[in-house]
Copies of this chain bind each other. A is one copy, B any other.
Amino acid sequence: MLTALAALTLATPAHADTLVDNVNGVTLDKDGKLVRFTGLVIDTQGKVKQLLDRKDKRPERPDFKEDGKGRTLIPGLIDAHGHVMGLGFQLMLLDLSETKSLAEAQAAIRQYAAENPEMPWIIGSGWNQEKWGLGRFPTAADLDAAVPNRPVWLARVDGHAGWANSAAMASAKITAASKSPDGGRIEMAGGKPSGVFIDAAMSLVDAAKPKPLARDLDRALYLAQQKLMEQGVTSIADMGTSIADWQAYRRAGDKKQLAIRILSYGGDIDNMALIAGGEPTPWLYDDRLRMVGVKLYLDGALGSRGAWLKAPYSDAPGQKGLPLLTPAQLRNKMVRASMDKFQVAIHAIGDAANAEALDAITDLTADLPGERRWRIEHAQIIDPVDIPRFAQLKVIASMQPVHQTSDRLMAEARLGPDRLKGAYAWRSLASAGARLAFGSDVPVESANPFPGIAAAISRTDAAGQPFGGWHPEETVSREVALDGFTRNAAYAAFAEDRLGTLMPGMRADFLIVEADPMLASPDEIRRMVPLETWIGGYRYYKKKD
């Protein structure tokens, strides 16, 4: 019998109180009210011990003292929806997200292939034919023109389509006779596969691609952490963790190389159960890792017309997109996760997908009492009649403000004017009483949360366009924007007891920034970069002068 299970405690190396003084400190309190302070005392566990007002007495002999020099201190930002390893691999592999035309992309592909002669496949992501103004999907021939002799396989910016050259299709044994799998589509041209594979059809090429080695995963995680710290993200919800991803997180944790806090959602039920077993994991590594729930995909994305709509696409009248799960499959997965106390996060972009997710939650609520904190990820296009249901059902709307600025023109084309009322409808959701958690969907967008805050309060893009904001009635206040990236993002992952604010007892995760985001212009906020990033009371990142 286990008669003496020793309770082990994790202790940070002994330095006692740390005082960060002379700051313009900003945080929300546990109820979402703005709190200002000028000094922060951190205890030996890396938690906030005390917030100090100008007049408060300072600890007399802190073991470590930092002068904030009057700069602004804000809570570390939490990305409520990202893909940690996706970011890492984007940083490691070919990234086309900055290319502005097909020709520019082809040049980048050619150069990357030349610089990496040892790579058996050229793998990458970030292309967006809309951004290129191409008016069509690219083709295998477009890729062959850049790299004819090695497989090339490139994910679209939204991850919902892949672009292969002829060598990659040959490796994957794709021919004119290949069949589109359920939930996916092989794009055809002249009776042959064109080179583009939508949603589930991507697996046909993925299966032939060499698998990344563990050291590739470790390197990708290192790069992702570095990038997140530079951008002021101290915690991130990882939406769709695989067992290989999880093992990389644990390896980093075991070696004391996990700095960023990862709130993990298993990529479907099997990953969830294999990773966490019969219940969510404990908080690991000083609250740096936990599997809290599962991510389910109910539909695809708007750009690739995979989002599931109630009425046909305005620019493709025969298509309504695809549900990726039957009603029974969705409910079955939700029940399996919930019975074992896992949180459920449902990817739903189209209005039909959002309605179906809300219907499923309605159906199950009576049989699954307790605090479920159902999440809908993206909640992008919502039929206005469904908006009040988020609050009624206590569903968290996990949204990515920057998507609105990137998608604006595409969304207008896909949806037509009438359906834009419930598109990226932040204020409507908040006013109806729904809780908004904000994220980036990195690597679909940059992980940088500051353009997200700017978009949330202004509905304008990096160029400040359109003037006055796109559907500016859907902007939110600065408090709601900050809340979405801090307190509510923590709440959305059952982490509000330790993360998201700088109130006493919370982990001392914070940023030193150049200006006060409660006062700065949207443009200033958008360009803001952290000068310092602290996690658990330690400074992990300092911007080079």
Contacts and interface: CB of A to CB of B under 8 A. Distances in A.
B13 A214 contact: no
B214 A3 contact: no
Given A8-B11, A13-B9, A251 B281 contact: yes
Given A9-B13, A11-B11, A254-B284, A278 B214 contact: yes
Q: Which of A46, A248, A257, A259 has the most CB of B within 10 A?
A: A259
A217 B539 contact: no
Interface stretch (A269-277, A429-437, A509-517): A269-277
B274 A243 contact: yes
A230 to B, nearest CB: 9
Interface in A226-244: 226, 243-244
A247 to B, nearest CB: 6
Interface string A134-164: 0000000000000000000000000000000
A5 interface: yes
B538 A226 contact: no
Interface in A524-543: 536, 538-542
Interface in A249-298: 250-251, 254-257, 259, 273-278, 281-282, 284-286
B7 A10 contact: no
Contacts of A187: none
A243 B247 CA distance: 10
Interface string A431-460: 000000000000000000000000000000
A10 B8 contact: yes
Contact of A538 (B1, B6, B250): B6
Contacts of A12: 6, 8
Contact of A274 (B6, B214, B278): B214
A412 interface: no
A226 B2 contact: yes
Contacts of A276: 214, 251
Contacts of A217: 277
Contacts of A177: none
A266 to B, nearest CB: 12
A215 interface: yes
A207 interface: no
Given A10-B10, A254-B282, A259 B214 contact: no
B213 A256 contact: no
A537 to B, nearest CB: 9
A225 interface: yes
B259 A282 contact: no
Nearest to A259: B2
A281 B256 contact: no
Contacts of A251: 276-277, 281
20 contacts: A2-B225, A2-B540, A4-B538, A5-B256, A6-B46, A6-B256, A6-B286, A8-B285, A9-B10, A11-B11, A213-B273, A213-B278, A214-B273, A214-B276, A215-B278, A243-B274, A244-B274, A247-B274, A247-B275, A250-B250
Interface of A: 1-13, 46, 213-215, 217-218, 222, 225-226, 243-244, 247-248, 250-251, 254-257, 259, 273-278, 281-282, 284-286, 536, 538-542
